[in-house]
């Protein structure tokens, strides 16, 4: 009789068990604990403004979908009404420098970036408006960087580990986001990790925010990202 082997990935099970039995990381390498104050030195969210570029059709499309998501959230009472929309003049100074992988040449030669990358340029300002995000990054499930304003390899690694553990555990959740996790990474900042299923596949959104997001805000953020990615993935 086989009570387990045909039901589970035994290699993955063994890998997780071995990892759990491994010695705890060097305290200097450990991500969290009672004294953890974050990665302020390495991963300080950049505040340098990026030059405002003319909106591409992709960005305009992303703006409209995000506007729809915001309206949905406001009608549902999950967001306060705002005086202006993302992408309007005056917001350029708040933009952090966006370093899409292809543009920054941060990764080895790879296939062309996904079609929704241009739409993510509007997603950052929208996040700042919606949840007071300081900066964000977006990874594919394999950990590939789609966009990264935070520029901390440790935070990306933490987000990926948390998201992968969360994905399977919350597979049956039936919500847009499959479970969010937040961890304090500095005295004033929290890393909010939101795994999101999209037409491009599972993506891992990491957001630096001043406070943990409640479930309503997480839902709004996840829907916003989903709409940006799914709209552009279809074109």
Partner 1 sequence: MITIAISSQKGGVGKTTVAINLAHAFARSGRRTVLVDSDPQGSVGLSLTRQSRRLSGFYDLIDDPAVCTADLIVPTRLETLSLVPAGQASVYDLKGSAPGAVLRRLRTFLRDLASLDVEICIVDTAAGFFGATGDVLSAANAVMVPQQAEPLGIRSVPKMLEALTRMRIANPQLVVLGVALTMMQSRLPESRDAVQALRAILPPEMVMRTVIPRDDLFIKASARGVPAGVMDGGDPMLGVFDNLRIEVERRLGVTAQF
Beta-sheet strand order (sheet of 201-209): 145-148, 135-140, 201-209, 189-198, 181-186
Q: Which of residues 144-173 bind partner 1 (CB under 8 A)?
A: 158, 161-162, 164-166, 168-169
The answer to the question of residue 28 lying near partner 1 (CB under 8 A) is no
Q: Which of residues 185-204 bind partner 1 (CB under 8 A)?
A: 190
Query: Strands 201-209 and 189-198: what pairing?
Result: antiparallel
Site string for partner 1, 29-58 (x = CB under 8 A): -xxxxx------------------------
**Cβ closer to partner 1: 8 or 83?**
8
**CA atoms within a 13 Å half-sphere pointing along the CA-CB vector of 12:** 8
The answer to the question of residue 211 lying near partner 1 (CB under 8 A) is yes
Q: What secondary structure does DSSP assign to 167-223, as a single string?
A: HHHTTT--SSBS--EEEEEETTEEEEEEEEEETTEEEEEEEEESSPPPHHHHHHHHH
Q: Say what the alpha-carbon torsion angle 184, 18, 170, 145 is, to the nearest 10 degrees.
A: 60
Site string for partner 1, 75-94 (x = CB under 8 A): --------------------
- Work out which of 16, 103, 106, 173 binds partner 1, going by CB under 8 A: 16
The answer to the question of residue 4 lying near partner 1 (CB under 8 A) is yes
CB proximity list for 173: less than 8 A, separation 6 or greater: 179
CB-based burial of residue 6 (10 Å sphere; 0-12 exposed, 13-18 middle, 19+ buried)? exposed
**Cβ closer to partner 1: 190 or 205?**
190
**Cβ closer to partner 1: 32 or 47?**
32
**Cβ closer to partner 1: 141 or 184?**
184
User: Using CB under 8 A as the criterion, which residues of the chain lie in contact with partner 1 when the complex forms?
Assistant: 1-5, 7-10, 12-14, 16-21, 24-25, 30-34, 158, 161-162, 164-166, 168-169, 181-184, 190, 211-212
């Amino acid at each position: 009789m086989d009570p387990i082997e045909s039901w589970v990935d035994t290699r993955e099970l063994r890998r997780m068990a071995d990892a759990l039995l491994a010695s705890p990381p060097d305290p200097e390498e450990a991500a969290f604990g009672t004294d953890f104050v974050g990665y302020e030195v390495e991963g300080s969210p950049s505040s340098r403004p990026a030059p405002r570029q003319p909106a591409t059709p992709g960005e305009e499309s992303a703006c409209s979908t995000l506007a729809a998501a915001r309206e949905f959230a406001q009608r549902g009472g999950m967001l306060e009404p705002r005086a202006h929309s993302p992408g309007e003049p005056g917001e350029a100074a708040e933009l952090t420098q966006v370093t899409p992988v292809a543009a920054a040449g941060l990764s080895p030669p790879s296939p062309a970036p996904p079609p929704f990358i241009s739409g993510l340029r509007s997603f950052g300002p929208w996040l700042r408006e919606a949840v007071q995000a300081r900066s964000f990054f977006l990874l594919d499930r394999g950990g590939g960087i789609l966009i990264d304003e935070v520029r901390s390899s440790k935070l990306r690694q933490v987000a990926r580990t948390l998201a992968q553990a969360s994905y399977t555990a919350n597979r049956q959740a039936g919500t847009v986001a499959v479970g969010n996790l937040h961890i304090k990474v500095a005295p004033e900042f929290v890393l909010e990790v939101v795994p999101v299923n999209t037409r491009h596949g599972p993506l891992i959104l990491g957001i630096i925010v001043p406070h943990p997001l409640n479930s309503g805000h997480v839902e709004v953020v996840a829907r916003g990202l989903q709409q940006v990615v799914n709209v552009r993935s279809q074109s």
